[in-house]
Structure 1
Amino acid sequence: MRILVANPNTTEAVTAKLMAAGAAVADPRTVLVPMTAHRGVPYIATRADAVIGGAVALEMLAEAHTTVDAAIIAAFGDPGLGGARELFDIPVVGMAEAAMLSACMLGRSFAIVTFSGGLVPWYNECLDWNGLRGRCAGIFALQGAFRDIADVQSEKEGALVELAAKVVIDHAADVVILAGAPLSGLAQTIRDRVPVPLVDGIQAAVKQAEALVALKPAKATTGTFRRPAAKICTGIPDALKARFERTDG
């Protein structure tokens, strides 16, 4: 099967981390197809960033959806996920959603640990969108600046381990999610230094996407995720315009 890994920010180095972490757990028969946003922000950290990222994610899926069996919106917080599920016929998995659902299979409560306090408000809204507030022990972030988004996981590794371990003790978290695409792959590196299971967002998303493809779900023709009725659009890329206007066959 072919799974699109759509990174809706513009940092190629983050896409490389996503691909390496995803490939480490993918079935040997799975082909991961990388795609990096050609416009937008270097990394998504705020609600405003997420609005831009969501629009870009829809453009990316419109361009590639006929060539893949499933897609991953590869930014923690899942910008554009609901809209993507309306518009496209293939399974679309959000990285945050996959991480949280996987964490629920490993323990009663999970904590989300990330590298920047600026991400917390957006992640809180993502938590509520998924209806998992009651399973979450909290969202915890490092404070202070970092040098480079591409190297933040190596720069902050020790501090992230310390924070994760503290959260487990202080908040009785059964599972810890390492949140943010720039942290992709870190869970496997530090798994023996935190006393509960760690969940990596892209790795959870790859396995969830593989499962959904194998299940062969039908596209909804009724309900809230049915494809919307045709609507004329202006000023958007041709592939996405055709999807909205239902001129793509």
Structure 2
Amino acid sequence: MPATLDTLSADRQGASPYRLLVVNGNTTATLTDSLALQARAFFGAAVQLRSVTAPFGPPYIASRAEAAISAHAVLAAVEREAALAEQPFEACVLACFGEPGIGAVRERLNAPVVGMAEASIMTAMQRGDRYAIVTVGQRWPAMLREQIRQLGVDSRCAGILALPGNALDYASRSSESAAAVSGALDQAAELGADVVIVAGAALAGYLPSLPRPPRVPVIDSYRAALAQALALASLERAHHFAYSRSRSPSDSPGQ
């Protein structure tokens, strides 16, 4: 007999934490520490987290050339961590909005792989008809336009706003940088966005630092990726569990 919903719920309550890998595609270790801290606060005891930094590449990706280098580094980091892990990871988050190497990682890792751009854009489209993106770096708008065209969601993008300066300078969350992010969110709303994505690892966890509430709903791209990774890992585990419980002894060879 197939397992009942009550049985499934009871067994899930005693399940072990989900095994999640977070990869910072930049080489700034302090940023990895911040991302890991945020993830542990977000998940609590539900996840066993492993966070790693790209072994080579730029301190923070700001161009196509740097993204290409980082893609190699991300793949190398994922393959190394997968080989060393005592148990397979149940999901992986690429903690970089440009998602360097995500296709290659999905090809090599037998688990859901979530990127910050795809996760946050899909989340934003569930909150409103048109979304906008706020990020840091003058080359990013053109790079992101290419990315959203590949995802097929460019028609619902109201605009991409790039803050000036170095993204790592914003990670300090000074009052000046928080005011700049807040102003960009207002500009995004004026473009007609129903929801705005705060994009990039350096801007992860920024919302509590804003000087005033945003005018429209805001999606933190990193938290959107974390939430989707947990959802996908949960679905994968539930599917495996339900299939295992539904098999009767007569299905086994030799019975």
Same fold (TM over 0.5): yes
1:51 positional shift: 0.6
Q: Which amino acid aligns with 1:164?
A: L
Q: CA RMSD in A?
A: 2.0
Q: Which whole-Å deviations, capped at 9, do the CAs of 1:168-217 have from their partners, x for residues lacking one?
A: 02x11111111111111002433952111111111111110111111118
SS at match of 1:140: strand
Could you tell me which residue of structure 2 aligns to residue 73 of structure 1? 94
Structure-1 residue corresponding to 2:35:
18
Helix, strand or coil for the counterpart of 1:33?
strand
Would the alpha carbon gap of residues 150 and 20 (structure 1) be closer, same or farther in structure 2, given more than 3 Å must change?
farther
Which residue number in structure 2 is paired with residue 225 of structure 1?
none
Q: Percent identity?
A: 36
Matched, 1:30 2:47: yes
2: CA distance, partners of 1:150 / 1:192: 17
Shift of 1:152: 5.3
Deviates more, 1:45-54 or 1:149-158: 149-158
User: Could you tell me whether the CA contact under 8 Å between 2:24 and 2:52 is conserved in 1?
Assistant: yes
**Who is 2:204 aligned against?**
184
Aligned length: 216
Aligned equivalents of 2:130, 2:72: Cα separation in 1: 32
1:175 aligns with 2:192: no
CA deviation digits over 1:44-103, x for unaligned, max 9? 111111111111111111112353211111101111111111222111111111111111
Secondary structure at 1:173's aligned position in 2?
coil
The answer to whether the 8 A contact 2:60-2:167 is kept is: no
1:21, distance to aligned residue in structure 2 (A): 2.7
Q: 1:52 aligns with which of 54, 69, 80?
A: 69
Query: How does the TM-score come out when normalised to structure 1?
Result: 0.80
Contact 2:173 2:209 in 1 (8 A): no
Counterpart residue type for residue 2 of structure 1: R
Instruction: Check conservation: 2:170, 2:177, Cα contact below 8 A.
Output: no
Greater displacement, 150-159 / 67-76: 150-159
Residue identity opposite 1:133 in structure 2 = D
Greater percentage in helix: 2
Counterpart among 85, 99, 113 of residue 106 in structure 2: 85
What pairs up with 1:1-249 in 2 under 5 angstroms? 1-65=18-82, 67=85, 68-143=89-164, 145-146=165-166, 148-149=168-169, 151=171, 153-154=173-174, 155-169=176-190, 171-190=191-210, 192-216=212-236
Mark the runs of 5 or more structure 1 residues left unpaired by the alignment: 219-249
Q: Unpaired runs of 5+ in structure 2?
A: 1-17, 240-255
Shift of 1:38: 1.7
Q: Which contiguous aligned blocks of 4+ residues in structure 1 show a shift greater than 6 angstroms?
A: none
Deviation at 1:27, TM superposition (A): 4.8
Distance 1:137 1:123, change over 3 A: same
Q: Tell me, in whole angstroms, the C-alpha distance in 2 between the residues paired with 1:105 and 1:148.
A: 30
TM (normalized to structure 2)?
A: 0.78
Equivalents in 2 of 1:166, 1:3: separation in Å? 36
1:28: Cα distance to partner? 2.7
Give the distance between the partners of 2:224 and 2:211, measured in 1 at CA. Answer: 15
SS for the counterpart of 2:171 is helix
